[in-house]
Structure 1
Amino acid sequence: MRVLNLFAIVLLLAGPAVAADMPATISVTGEGRVEAAPDMATISLGVTNDAGTAAEAMAANSDAVRAVIERLTAAGVEERDIQTSGLSLGPRYDYGRSDGTPPTIVGYSASNMVTVRVRALDTLGGVLDAVVAGGANTLNGLSFGIAEDREVMDEARTRAVADAARKAGLYANAAGVRLGRVLSISEAGAYQPPMPMAMAEAGFAKSAAVPVAPGEVNIVASVSVVYEIAD
């Protein structure tokens, strides 16, 4: 018991000293944004087919997807940039009866989704038109990005640190203190926020080249910085 009491006394005596050694700090979060022209696009497209049996639906869907992929490669899209992202097959039901009988199966639906990267943006409108002509009847979205984004992201990180220093300086001036050394820097994230373009289903492209405006993408970096208060 005496040993425990002595240990408690040591902790009580050491507590204020430990607290006194901890420096006063200012913690801030900085954000950096860089706008840049995209150099690639990612498309999520696919084919959906209905038929009386599961085998017929899947066979028709497979033929249509092969035609779409052939159109993509003919338009200059490389095989490495074409990837199956979803495949489904299921029954279609008739829910229209009001006499309490359970729904009945009236056929089957097969769907195959493909994710495509287009690296030459000047061909994007033609690629979209080509896949529609090839049989694609579902387009879930279109987003733009930067393939080699290291330099742009590093610029966003630099701006994020500068933004953190600006905020810390404001707080220090408002509090009447001086900033000391940086105690820690941690990155909260650096990323390209998606800029999706929602598309409707069948019939979304009928012209020789679908008009597409890539605009600019935002690169965002965020850092948390802890400054010591000098006085």
Structure 2
Amino acid sequence: MNRALAGLALSLATLPVMASAQAPLPMATVVPEGTILDVTAVGKVSRVPDLATVRAGVVTQDAVAATAMQQNADRMAAVVAALTKAGIAPRDIATSRVALSPQYRYAENQPPAITGYQASNAVTVRFRDVAKAGPVLDALVRAGANQIDGPTLSLADAAGALDEARADAVARARARATLYAKAAGLTVERIVSIGEAGESDGEPPRPFAQMRMAAAPAAADSAVLPGESELSATLNVRFLLK
């Protein structure tokens, strides 16, 4: 009888050991030996846009659809010829729209009646010399273009400019961390992490301003004034202070 009780006690004694062997071990938490400081910094860079994009087109109307399209094609050919004559490379001219739509006459208690057709054709033109954009636009109008929209101003090397803004953001973050550390009697040990929050001027990513063609006196050439655009990058930087 004593041997049976001893065997039962031995079995019960081993149960907790088996259960603890199957239980998951707690995750180790790494706590840095120092003070963590999170800084959000905005880096900025200003550039003069060196690209201008303009949409130019021709709109024609005629009672016959085929005639409207043919007239449109003829006038559009003259517009493209004017662009080529002005030195615009073929890679900088791209068709952006070709459309044909009926025109209606509306009368009370009657179904709409087709009175003719409107044809439209437009190209997107990229100017690599912003200063020459205005005179070329005037040449397009003389060649037959009757629809112009733009220009949109941008940078040829947008990625390089944004990289400069990012570097500026890191420098600003480090300067601010140094200021806080000095005030707290500490020093900046190192950067723990860097995260990019966004790039723009406070709005959704659209780093380059869109500008309308500047108005000019009738006797003068149309002017495209590039002005200056500001690009920005926002970084979240975590520092370790000691």
Q: Shared fold (TM-score greater than 0.5)?
A: yes
Which consecutive residues of structure 2, in runs of 5 or more, have no partner in the other structure?
Answer: 1-15, 201-205
In the alignment, which residue of structure 2 is the partner of 1:161? 170
Amino acid at match of 1:107: G
SS at match of 1:10: coil
Structure 2 residue 210 is the aligned partner of structure 1 residue 210: no
- Relative to 1, partners in 2 of residues 1:156 and 1:92: Cα closer, same or farther, differing over 3 Å? same
Q: Is this contact kept in 2: 1:42–1:118, CA < 8 A? A: yes
- Relative to 1, partners in 2 of residues 1:108 and 1:171: Cα closer, same or farther, differing over 3 Å? farther
- Relative to 1, partners in 2 of residues 1:92 and 1:158: Cα closer, same or farther, differing over 3 Å? same
Which of 144, 149, 153 aligns to 1:144? It is 153
Moved more, 184-193 or 172-181: 172-181
Q: Deviations over 1:92-140 (max 9, x none)?
A: 2223x232x3322222222212111112233222101001111111122
In the alignment, which residue of structure 1 is the partner of 2:236? 224
Amino acid at match of 1:110: A
For 1:189-204, list aligned pairs within 5 A.
Answer: 189-190=198-199, 193-198=207-212
Quote the RMSD (CA, aligned, Å).
3.4
TM-score normalised by L of structure 1: 0.77
TM-score normalised by L of structure 2: 0.74
For 1:1-231, list aligned pairs within 5 A.
Answer: 6=20, 10-11=24-25, 14-15=26-27, 17-18=28-29, 21-23=30-32, 25-95=36-106, 97-99=107-109, 101-149=110-158, 151-169=160-178, 179-190=188-199, 193-198=207-212, 207=219, 209-228=221-240, 230-231=241-242
**% of aligned pairs identical?**
42
Larger radius of gyration: 2
Q: CA deviation at 1:83?
A: 0.8
Amino acid at match of 1:209: D
Which consecutive residues of structure 1, in runs of 5 or more, have no partner in the other structure?
Answer: none
Q: Is this contact kept in 1: 2:130–2:224, CA < 8 A? A: no
Report the Cα distance in structure 1 between the residues aligned to 2:66 and 2:80, rounded to whole angstroms: 21
- Relative to 1, partners in 2 of residues 1:193 and 1:151: Cα closer, same or farther, differing over 3 Å? closer
- Relative to 1, partners in 2 of residues 1:51 and 1:27: Cα closer, same or farther, differing over 3 Å? farther
Report the Cα distance in structure 2 between the residues aligned to 1:47 and 1:7, rounded to whole angstroms: 81
Q: CA deviation at 1:208?
A: 5.0
Amino acid at match of 2:128: R
Q: Deviations over 1:113-169 (max 9, x none)?
A: 211111223322210100111111112210222223455333222112122334445
Q: CA deviation at 1:205?
A: 9.1
